[in-house]
Amino acid sequence: MKTIKKIILVFVAILSISTMNAQEEKEEKKFSISGSVDGYFQTNLSAADNAGQSFGTAFAGKTGFALSMGNIVFAYEGEKVGAVLDLVTGPRGSGATFNSDIVDGIINQAYVYYNVSESTTLTMGRFNTFLGYEVIAPAANFNYSTSYLFSSGPFSHVGIKADFALSDDYSLMLAVTNPWDTNDISMTGEYALGAQLGFYGQYLNLYYDSGNNGGLGFEIDYTGGFDVSDSFFLGINAAYNDNDGSGFYGAALYPQLATSDSFSIGLRGEYFGRYGDENPEEESVLGLTLTGSYTVENLTIKPEFRLDSWNDDMPYKDADGMPSDNLSSILIAAIYSF
């Protein structure tokens, strides 16, 4: 009898420990904190650093030593519902949020979601855009500076979206949001429509608003990529935008080669053009950005060379202060992720 009691007590103890561990694991899965901090140094090669000029794309537009962005993401995941709060600060965070929040550049994303079923999720709040290859957080991009395609489209949306997993290889997203980059409320009573069709890791994106009050108009965007080999990846982005006869178009290739577990090298080759009444000569630019990525634990060092060359426009100044159609620079960035 004593032996049986001892066995029962042992089983009870084991069960209690297992239950406590399961509860701890369940609690750990429910709440998470992540984020990144980054900064960079940049100097122009074809122009003086004191000329105050940059490539004209979003972020990383300073010469010398510069701060970029710090962000922290709080995420809670329940069995059916969850919430995400992504807070940002610094010049990149302020630029991404247009300083429209209570504190400059503090709310990047803030949304709640409901898993209606295994294949359907509803999300409401403010979430980063589904358009394009690049994103706001530098830790999630291979190249540190950003493309013209990314800089021309929306950064975030405020509204509601529904994600449908149609199968293991196909997905569909439908969205109704405030117009382009309206980070608080729609003051005009207008709304935008968005859709995304995913197929085998490739995504076809559609966006439409009226184009009024600084809106984007219509945009079709393709984002995807292919694993050419175990160490070589080719990313692709192409987009066309029209807003009452004016807009932009372009394409970018992102070949990336991993030479070791800690080092990769990648190129962004982008062709981007503008057309319409404001750009009757259809200005275009060829941008080449070569980036290295060296990782030590949670720290990533990114040295980068960039050269942009416009067709007819002369948006830059050379080292002598004369108008120039091209600008080149070197940059080194440090990104810590946690």
Residue-wise DSSP of 146-176:
--HHHHHS-SEEEEEEEEEE-SSSEEEEEEE
Give the pLDDT of residue 7: 38
3-state helix, strand, coil in the chain (%, to 5): 15, 55, 35
Separation between Cα atoms, residue 133 and residue 205, nearest integer Å: 11
Query: 291 pairs with which residues across the strands?
Result: 266, 304
pLDDT grade for 182, boundaries at 50, 70 and 90: low
Separation between Cα atoms, residue 148 and residue 277, nearest integer Å: 19
Give the pLDDT of residue 181: 62
Which stretch of 92-106, 281-295, 323-337 has the lowest confidence by average pLDDT? 92-106
pLDDT grade for 185, boundaries at 50, 70 and 90: low
Per-residue pLDDT tens over the stretch 4-15: 344 334 434 434
Separation between Cα atoms, residue 163 and residue 120, nearest integer Å: 6
In the block, residue with structure tokens 């300083």: 99
CA angle 323/326/328 to nearest 5° reads: 120
Whether 2 has a pLDDT exceeding 80, the answer reads no
Percentage of the chain exceeding pLDDT 90: 72
Percentage of the chain exceeding pLDDT 70: 87
Mean predicted lDDT score pLDDT of the chain: 88
pLDDT grade for 278, boundaries at 50, 70 and 90: low
Separation between Cα atoms, residue 122 and residue 164, nearest integer Å: 9
Give the pLDDT of residue 55: 93
- Averaging pLDDT over each range in 13-17, 46-50, 128-132, 188-192, which range is the top one? 128-132
Q: What is the pTM of this model?
A: 0.87
The first and second tokens of residue 11, run together, are: 């089983």
Whether 68 has a pLDDT exceeding 80, the answer reads yes
CATH class entry, domain 31-337: mainly beta
- Segments making up each domain of the chain, as ranges: 31-337
Whether 176 has a pLDDT exceeding 90, the answer reads yes
